[in-house]
Structure 1
Amino acid sequence: MTTTTYQVNGKDIFVAEAGEGPTVLLLHGGGPGASGVSNYSRNIDELAKHFRVVVPDLPGYGRSTKGIDQNDPFGYLADSIRGLLDRLDIERAHLVGNSYGGACALRLALDTPERVDRMVLMGPGGIGTTRGLPTPGLQNLLSYYGGSGPSRDKLATFIREYLVFDGSAVPEEMVDTRYESSIDPDVVADPPLRRPSGPHALRTLWRMDFTRDKRLSTLQTPTLVVWGARDKVNKPSGGRMLVETMPHCELVVTSETGHWVQWERADLFNEITRRFLGA
């Protein structure tokens, strides 16, 4: 695996790469301390046997520049990843997105479908986010930097009780690594994922809800949606909505699995992703 930091629109985006073949971008979730390589630690090597795997730290996370446009977060992420594709001279790529990264992938495909070959979305964000109350997992995630501030105990609770189905399977080292990343002073001062506020909060929320975007019903990008049946962060019912709305969408729901399908069910995920992307 090689690592490089690229300048995109005046900002740094840290990227890990492995393998050869058609390009697959792996876009990570938005939990505290998240990064590309940690999010896909059980997938990169296997997928790199068949593809050129590009794993960025999304803006605001890991070793990429902190701070994002809070007026249109998903649009900002999509613009940044499109800029990364330009920087790498990649005209079209497959996109694999988990949660926050799934929302980034979907927005990129809606804005510029000609840049996306196929998509795999795991419990993507932005599906019905303005309809009903937030899930317990999303409430826990959004409150991480509030109150008494970040702590290792708060992060361990989020990961073990809300991110995965079997919390006992999460190693202490993972919690330690993510906690250290989550308390980066630049992140604490400007958390990338937070509740919209201010006079334009409602407009921002609507932008972040793809079920209100009419383009979704005409998007021709072949898409595989994978959702854990016990997801406590994003509601599994969102998978059915996507299948019923998008013209070329398949759905896989896995039992005894939480929000982090690619980690909890890595063998299954790697196999169906490899097949769906054509390897």
Structure 2
Amino acid sequence: MTNITQQSIKSANFETYLNRAGKGNSEVILFLHGSGPGVTSFANWRYALNACCESYDCLAPDLLGFGNSSHPEKLPKNRQEWMDLWINQLIELLDELDVQKAHLVGNSLGCSIALELLLEHPERFDKVVLMGPGGTPNTKLSHELARAKGFYNNPSPEKLRQIMSWFVYDAEAMAPIIDAVTDYRYETAMKPEVRISNDSIFATAAVPVPVTALRRIEHPVLLVHGRDDMVCSVESSYYYLEHIPNSQMHVFGKCGHWTQIEKQESFNHLIQNYFSNKI
């Protein structure tokens, strides 16, 4: 059973497809998904939204260029141009929903966007969870990530299923979820507008946030990582732990890049305790 509602929200410059659960709760959590072929916010966060909606108003939008949200008419030339568009999209969304302040949860690419939001709009956010972040100077460029970026060179359901299996620690145990996610994501990935946007995004490289900027972040930040993450190595979270002043870290053993799915009960319990000041 799902508590999630879905709608398109029009703002000045964007049309954002929003998954929402817990509308009416006073505290808001904004969930930001990662990248990859056919990714959507629903695929990333459906378990978390259902788990957290009793206490929080949970917002999980498809980012510009992904899923069912709008796509830029003129493709950005680099990652920073994409980042600027995502920041504007999310602030416009919060304004449309009359949300003045929210907690943040980012996954992978969503972590990089969360950090940019903290730097550009610090007053709009409270506590932050960064799950499986990358984009740091010591993040290892894995073969798994390189192969995932090449998905559109010769796309097929089989190729996507293989990529999805690299996201988890135990592919055999997770096979039913991998199969379901693959079917859903392949259909999304093959939409012409999604492929065009993703080709552009995958062709750009992350620009690490300078250490001087990280040290000025005053928000409480919880870093969550799978020890066995083969997409974004756990070293990246240790890097942020070193340079973000008010940070702490939780590492899950026998866990890959999909902490919110592989360790869903523990993850959902962890972030709610964090946001409610119990840890």
TM-score normalised over the length of structure 2: 0.89
CA contact (8 A) 2:87 2:117 kept: yes
For residue 45 of structure 2, the aligned residue among 22, 27, 40 is: 40
Q: CA RMSD in A?
A: 1.7
Aligned match of 2:201: 193
Aligned length: 264
User: In 1, Cα distance between the equivalents of 2:224 and 2:169?
Assistant: 15
1:91 aligns with 2:96: no
Aligned match of 2:119: 110
User: In 2, Cα distance between the equivalents of 1:177 and 1:37?
Assistant: 10
Aligned match of 1:22: 27
1:208 aligns with 2:207: yes
Aligned match of 1:219: 217
Aligned match of 1:123: 132
1:41–1:15 CA distance, 2 compared to 1 (3 A): same
**Cα distance per residue 1:192-232 (max 9 Å; x no partner):** 53122xxxxxxxx4x6212x352111100101010000111
Aligned match of 2:258: 260
Structure 1 residue 2: Cα displacement: 2.2
Give 1:174's aligned amino acid: V
CA contact (8 A) 1:102 1:124 kept: yes
Unaligned runs of 5+ in 1: 197-204
Aligned match of 1:274: 272
CA contact (8 A) 1:37 1:55 kept: yes
CA contact (8 A) 2:87 2:113 kept: yes
For residue 173 of structure 1, the aligned residue among 169, 175, 180 is: 180
Structure 1 residue 245: Cα displacement: 0.4
1:57 aligns with 2:55: no
Partner SS state of residue 3, structure 1? strand
64-73 vs 229-238, which moves further: 64-73
4-13 vs 31-40, which moves further: 4-13
Aligned match of 1:234: 232
User: In 1, Cα distance between the equivalents of 2:116 and 2:147?
Assistant: 25
Structure 1 residue 132: Cα displacement: 7.3
Structure 1 residue 66: Cα displacement: 2.2
CA contact (8 A) 2:130 2:223 kept: yes
User: In 2, Cα distance between the equivalents of 1:49 and 1:110?
Assistant: 30
Structure 1 residue 41: Cα displacement: 2.1
Structure 1 residue 17: Cα displacement: 1.2
1:115–1:170 CA distance, 2 compared to 1 (3 A): farther
Give 1:242's aligned amino acid: Y
Unaligned runs of 5+ in 2: none
186-195 vs 171-180, which moves further: 186-195
**Cα distance per residue 1:227-262 (max 9 Å; x no partner):** 000111111011111111011001011101001101
1:74 aligns with 2:83: yes
User: In 2, Cα distance between the equivalents of 1:252 and 1:133?
Assistant: 20
CA contact (8 A) 2:134 2:233 kept: no
TM-score normalised over the length of structure 1: 0.89
